[in-house]
Chains A and B, each alone.
Chain A
Amino acid sequence: MIPASFEYHRPADISAALAILDEYGDDARVIAGGHSLIPMMKLRMADIEHLIDLQDIGELKGIFVEGTKVTIGAMATQHELIDNGDIARVAPILHEAALQIADPQVRYMGTVGGNVANGDPGNDMPGLMQCLGATFHLVGSGGTRDVAARDYYEAAYMTDREDDEILTAISFNAPEGGFAYEKQKRKIGDYATAACAAIVKIDGGICTAASIAMTNLSDTPIFSAEAGAALEGTACDATAIDAAVAAATGAIDPTEDNRGPVDFKMHVAGTIIRRAIERAVSRA
């Protein structure tokens, strides 16, 4: 498995990277950790003439927690996320989910930005970021703009990001309440058969806020506002959870693959969503 030839660029800052993107347009691609892109290049399923390595761009790095505001540079790796004590404290769902991504070696290289940016429905971070209500920060030659994670994904590998834009950071407010990232996979290193992120806030026995999102159960991550709504205002009893699971499974559209047929995935999704909600409720 040998990739085709390309030109390699390693810009030192964002403006240099944007200049290269502008110059080569469709023929250029940015590379972060490369653990999705390089296998595709080796299988010659991605044809890239100009590869723009973002590793030297300091502006894209770092994890910042200021009070309840969390900002994650696009080039922060999954390993850095797992290793970061502030994240474990203010957004433990991120810590829990990152540990379920790929394997140790891949997590050293794989970045949060790479995971959310390319629109691979198998990636875990997009659903999680939708659950968190995160904002993606983009920059292009026309300037910067923000897109809500819940509005970013259009179809498999199709996103709101323009070809000449780079995703620079992700930000969100630290979630409150109980949380869970539940994922079923065939083995370590596999994408999810079904995965669900759940955050549930309970005050005085009543759910005041709930957020449910799912991974690899449609051609995009799925945020189900209805599922959250089904829990809000309830005591998260069996009836409410049933309603939330029904709402969430109503929003997904899985396809058959080697992990199994659609009826199986629908059933497993229901189970995984239920477990995520129940675990989140138990921690709320």
Chain B
Amino acid sequence: MNDMAPSREERIEGLKGLGSSRKRVEDARFTQGKGNYVDDIKLPGMLFGDFVRSPFAHARVKAINTEAAMSVPGVLAVLTAKDLEPLGLHWMPTLAGDKQMVLADGKVLFQGQEVAYVVATDRYAAADGCEAVEVEYEELPVVVDPFKALEDDAPVLREDLEGKMEGAHGPRKHHNHIFTWEAGEKEATEQVLGSAEVVAEEMVYYHRTHPCPLEPCGCVASMDKVNGKLTIWGTFQAPHAIRTVVSLISGIEEHNIRVISPDIGGGFGNKVGAYPGYICSAVASIVTGKPVKWIEDRMDNLMTTAFARDYWMKGKIAATKEGKITGLWCHTTADHGGFDACADPTKFPAGFMNICTGSYDIPTAYLAVDGVYTNKAPGGVAYRCSFRVTEAAYFIERMIEVLAIELGMDAAELRRINFIKKEQFPYQSALGWEYDSGDYHTAWDKALDAVGYDELRKEQAERVEAFKRGETRKLLGIGLTHFTEIVGAGPVKNCDILGLGMFDSCEIRIHPTGSAIARLGTISQGQGHATTFAQILASEIGLPADSITVEEGDTDTAPYGLGTYGSRSTPVAGAATAMAGRKIRAKAQMIAAYLLEVHDDDVEWDVDRFVVKGNPERFKTMKEIAFASYNQAIPGIEPGLEAVSYYDPPNMTYPFGAYICVMEIDVDTGTHEIRQFYALDDCGTRINPMIIEGQVHGGLTEALAIAMGQEIAYDEMGNVKTGTLMDFFIPTAWETPNYTTDYTTTPSPHHPIGAKGVGESPNVGGVPAFSNAVHDAFRAFGLRQSHMPHDHWRIWKIANSLGLHG
């Protein structure tokens, strides 16, 4: 070995593997405007489709006249439910076991619902065609309130289900009821509540909002009649699942369908489900024999595709006088809109809402969720969270605050005395989960120290006094949150969507010269998979991340997987990547041993090579092994170096974090200023710290938006009041604060590299942190609970109702 050989540390660094803040390989094309998003796709002869949408939230469709539209120059076809019916495509299955109209079949159930699909030569002609379609409606009574929807005399929304009292998730108890889902011990919890020293009770509403990625949803469907192959490019967070669903409902054999997710301009859950636009475009392409593009506009996006939240969570929490929590009860009324199109695993119609015991050791708990139909858009997707986890985290973090008020205790201390202790992991929760690992006390103390918690409380108390003396009109809120997520769905034994098990996959090919391509069943929407998955692999197989191409999103080339949402890519596909890498390494070990003329057991792995035990100067690098694997006849070993892994995770992962928000509130205008935001995340092993930090910044900003103003609001007639970015709140750089990020590392014991996933943590933890800061500012004046979003007028209303305006 000569002196110029790189040291072991240099070799590790050169790989840019786990822990490296490697710059992203995606960025060269994105910064130069060379991304390839679905609307960038242009095919010869491509047509454009657009929807005629219902202006009413509930109406009977009496007649559709397409004559005038057909005479608009450039319009080639107008599809209605009648055209789709012979194909059996006028309705489609939803991810939640319900069905949804593709085009209005006799009635409409929400404003913006798809009524007819106009196919034209370009988007201008399609828009003109839509204007010219005449639809005769008969308005029906509208119900937008899920509690009113369950009243005896509420209008029947789903006439197709009338009389069917058994739904996809058990019995229905009312014509607008979808399901009841329960977890935990009802009687035992009620007993605890009945005999508790202290019980705090509150209704916690997590309002309806929308993921609103900057790129809306869309697709290009192209039926090649010569080869009989249907190709669909689209904004799909789960391309393989889309392929299977399209095959099942169209009858086209799955091998004749190719689904491609090109670059995706943000997803956040919006792009998990299947939408009428996909079906209509595919049908239009089959009918016309030409490629058909459909791209929704922003109003379509906000009004019709995949809302999130809309959970009314009634809670009761029991504790001793000293603050030890003894029981938790929750009943949730879940507003699902006109169709149940939630994107949840089949056995979990309310997602993982049963993570609502949070970070706390709560011995007894009960949860029930009732799903309800209303005249609102369908959806219920996990907007930057694992299935309903953000609702659960918001619920428990509000209930903790309410309990602290009830007990007259400091909310930080109340959390501390109820945290699950480090030594209790793996921890079995009262609502059925096995938390894999955690060290909440360490994280909590670090967070409180970092912000100077005791000093902040002193300042706050002084501020309250100054306010009472009339010296200031600003209050100070300290928003605390300690959240526990459940991500990485999930074990196939209990997690599937439409019967598709929620494993994920990675296939690796090592090239002879020592570079590689890895293909996965997931799809990046900005998370930087091409960068981070190469890092996982680099550490596993000892080839530099820069020499590894990561490819996702083409169902003809990628192994089957369930896609990217619910922070599942790292926990599931990341694990598959590591496991496939280990298969590569196992074969490489045999090749190395042969080349070094020793027994397999006499070589050991060292960063990027196998070395002869006890003789580190004799080694074969992975690069050398790769070449040999293709070019040298090795007895008993097949040529080549490839592996595939389908990873069925044994458990979910449970990332956690401690967030603290310090907020100034102007009592007279309802405006706020974020003075400080500290976010400590523990996502287990950290793959790329730069990307983790970026994910946290972004998730916190989405949380800021949701907590402080973002909503899909309806009036009583079911009209969407927030259909453009004028009214749907997305903060600019000006309204967004700087964040301080921090971390602890508690690896997942069951994940091959100990990683837990992080993309959604900041949204899950951020929303309660912002909201608790608002509540906390008014705690001294008697506020217990006020619903989000905390926009100016709602904060003003709090102050007003507490008599702070004199």
Judge A-B direct contact (beta carbons within 8 Å): yes
Shortest distance from the beta carbon of B777 to any chain A beta carbon, whole Å: 18
User: Do A267 and B127 touch across chains, with their CB atoms under 8 A apart?
Assistant: no
B713, B735, B792 interface centre (most CB from chain A within 10 Å): B792
B791 touches A (CB below 8 Å): yes
Closest to A2 in B: B127
Extra 9 A-B pairs, beta carbons < 8 Å, given A184-B792, A187-B732: A2-B126, A4-B131, A184-B669, A187-B731, A188-B735, A260-B670, A260-B796, A267-B800, A268-B796
Separation of A264 and B792 alpha carbons in the complex (Å)? 9
Q: Are B670 and A189 within 8 A (Cβ)? A: no
**Are A264 and B131 in contact (CB-based, < 8 A)?**
no
> Are B669 and A268 in contact, CB atoms less than 8 angstroms apart?
yes
Most A C-beta atoms less than 10 A away, residue of B722, B735, B793, B797: B793
Instruction: Give the number of chain B interface residues (Cβ < 8 Å).
Output: 32
Chain A proximity of B1: nearest CB distance (Å) = 59
Cβ contact within 8 Å between A187 and B668: no
Name the B residues within 8 Å of A2 (CB-CB): 123-124, 126-128
With an 8 A cutoff between CB atoms, is A238 at the interface?
Answer: no
B792 close to A267 (CB less than 8 A): no
Q: Are B732 and A189 in contact (CB under 8 A)?
A: yes
Q: Which of B784-806 contact A (CB under 8 A)?
A: 791-793, 796-797, 800, 805
Question: Contact at B670–A268, with CB atoms within 8 Å?
Answer: yes
Some 21 contacts from A to B, beta carbons below 8 A apart, are: A1-B299, A2-B123, A103-B732, A186-B709, A187-B709, A187-B729, A187-B731, A187-B735, A188-B734, A189-B726, A189-B732, A190-B726, A259-B793, A260-B793, A264-B670, A264-B792, A264-B796, A267-B796, A267-B800, A267-B805, A268-B796
Taken residue by residue from 725 to 756, chain B's Cβ proximity to chain A (1 for < 8 Å, 0 otherwise) reads as 01101111011000000000000000000000
CA distance A50 to B128 in the complex (A): 18
Expressed in whole angstroms, the Cα–Cα distance for A223 and B627 within the complex equals: 83
Number of interface residues of A (CB under 8 A): 23
Within A103-162, the residues touching B (CB, 8 Å) are 103
Instruction: Determine if B727 and A193 form an interchain contact, defined as CB atoms under 8 angstroms apart.
Output: no
CB distance from A276 to the nearest CB of B (A): 13
- B792 near A271 with CB under 8 A, answer no
Interface pair B734/A187, CB less than 8 Å apart:
yes
Is B732 touching A264 in the complex (CB atoms < 8 A)?
no
Least CB separation from B730: chain A residue: A187
Q: With a CB–CB cut-off of 8 A, which chain B residues contact A261?
A: 793
A184 and B671 contacting across the interface, CB-CB below 8 Å: yes
Residues of chain B having any CB pair with chain A under 8 Å = 123-124, 126-128, 131, 297-299, 668-671, 709, 713, 721-722, 726-727, 729-732, 734-735, 791-793, 796-797, 800, 805
Chain B min CB distance to A254 (Å): 12
- CB-based contact A186/B796 at 8 Å: no
Residues of B within 8 A of A259 (CB): 792-793
Given the known A-B contacts A193-B792, A258-B727, A259-B792, are A268 and B668 also in contact in the complex, defined by CB atoms under 8 Å?
yes
Whether B726 pairs with A260 at a CB distance below 8 angstroms is: no
* Chain A residue with the shortest CB-CB distance to B298: A1
Q: Does A69 contact B (CB under 8 A)?
A: no
Residue of A nearest to B666 (CB): A271
Cross-chain contact B792 with A188 (CB below 8 angstroms):
no
Provide the residues of chain A in CB contact with B791, threshold 8 Å.
186, 260
A272 contacts chain B at the CB level, 8 A cutoff: yes
- Is A264 touching B797 in the complex (CB atoms < 8 A)? yes
B197, chain A: closest CB distance, angstroms: 40
Chain B proximity of A192: nearest CB distance (Å): 12
> Across the interface, do B793 and A271 meet the contact criterion of CB distance under 8 Å?
no
Contact A186 B729 (CB under 8 A): yes
**A44 beta carbon closer than 8 Å to chain B:** yes
Within 8 A of B (CB), among A236-284: 258-261, 263-264, 267-268, 271-272
Nearest-CB distance from A185 to chain B (Å)? Answer: 9
Residues of chain A within 8 A (CB-CB) of B734 are 187-188
> Which positions in A face B, CB cutoff 8 Å?
1-2, 4-5, 44, 103, 184, 186-190, 193, 258-261, 263-264, 267-268, 271-272
> Which residues in B have their C-beta under 8 angstroms from that of A4?
128, 131
Residue of A nearest to B799 (CB): A267
Q: Which residues of B contact A268 (CB under 8 A)?
A: 668-670, 792, 796
The residue that A258 contacts in the complex, of B127, B128, B713, B800, with Cβ under 8 A, is B713
**Most A CB within 10 A of own CB, among B126, B726, B731, B734:** B726
Rounded to whole angstroms, the CA-CA distance of A44 and B127 in the bound complex is 10
List chain B residues, Cβ under 8 A from A190. 726
Name the CB-closest residue of B to A268.
B669
Contact check: which of A188, A258, A264 meets B722 at CB < 8 Å? A258
Task: Give chain B nearest CB distance to A242 CB in angstroms.
Answer: 13
Q: How far is the CB of B75 from chain A (nearest CB, A)?
A: 13
Residues of A within 8 A of B128 (CB): 2, 4-5
A190-B791 Cα distance, complex, nearest whole Å = 14
CB-nearest residue of chain B to A271: B668
The residues of A that contact B722 with a CB separation of less than 8 Å are: 258
Shortest Cβ gap from B16 to chain A (Å): 38
Q: How far is the CB of A101 from chain B (nearest CB, A)?
A: 14
Q: How far is the CA of A263 from the CA of B670 in the complex (A)?
A: 13
Q: Are B669 and A271 in contact (CB-based, < 8 A)?
A: yes
Distance in angstroms from A88 CB to nearest chain B CB is 21
**What is the CB-to-nearest-CB distance from A184 to chain B, in angstroms, rounded to a whole number?**
6
Across chains A and B, which 9 residue pairs bring their CB atoms closest together, nearest first? Answer: A260-B793, A2-B127, A264-B793, A271-B668, A188-B732, A258-B727, A188-B734, A1-B297, A264-B796
Across-interface contacts of B127 in A (CB, < 8 A): 2
CB-based contact A272/B299 at 8 Å: no
- Alpha-carbon distance between A271 and B797 when the two chains are bound, in angstroms: 15
Give Cα distance in the complex from A219 to B219, angstroms. Answer: 43
B449 CB, min distance to chain A CBs, angstroms? 34
**Shortest CB–CB separation between residue A280 and chain B, in angstroms?**
18
Instruction: Using CB atoms, name the residue of chain A closest to B127.
Output: A2
A residues near B731, Cβ cutoff 8 Å: 187
Q: Which residues on A sit within 8 Å (CB–CB) of B123?
A: 2
Q: CA separation between A251 and B457, bound complex, in Å? A: 43
B194 → A minimal CB distance (Å): 41
Q: How far is the CA of A211 from the CA of B340 in the complex (A)?
A: 57
| Residues in A neighbouring B726, C-beta threshold 8 A | 189-190
User: How many angstroms between the C-alpha atoms of A268 and B805 in the bound complex?
Assistant: 11
CA distance A267 to B666 in the complex (A): 13
A1 vs B298: C-alpha distance in the bound complex, in angstroms? Answer: 8
Residue of chain B at shortest CB distance from A190: B726
Q: Which A residues are CB-close (under 8 A) to B131? A: 4, 44
Asked if B668 and A186 sit within 8 Å, CB to CB, the answer is no
Collect the chain B residues with CB atoms within 8 Å of residue A44's CB: 131
In angstroms, Cα B709 to Cα A44, docked, is 27
Inter-chain contacts of B793 with A (CB < 8 A): 259-261, 264
Residues of B within 8 A of A263 (CB): 800
A258 to B720, CA, bound (A): 11
Q: Please, which residues of chain B bring their CB within 8 A of the CB of A267? A: 668, 796, 800, 805
The residue in chain B whose Cβ has the minimal distance to the Cβ of A194 is: B669
A280 to B533, CA, bound (A): 58
Most chain-B CB neighbours within 10 Å: which of A4, A44, A258?
Answer: A258
Give Cα A232–Cα B587 distance, bound, in whole angstroms.
91
Name the distance in Å between A118's Cβ and chain B's nearest Cβ.
17
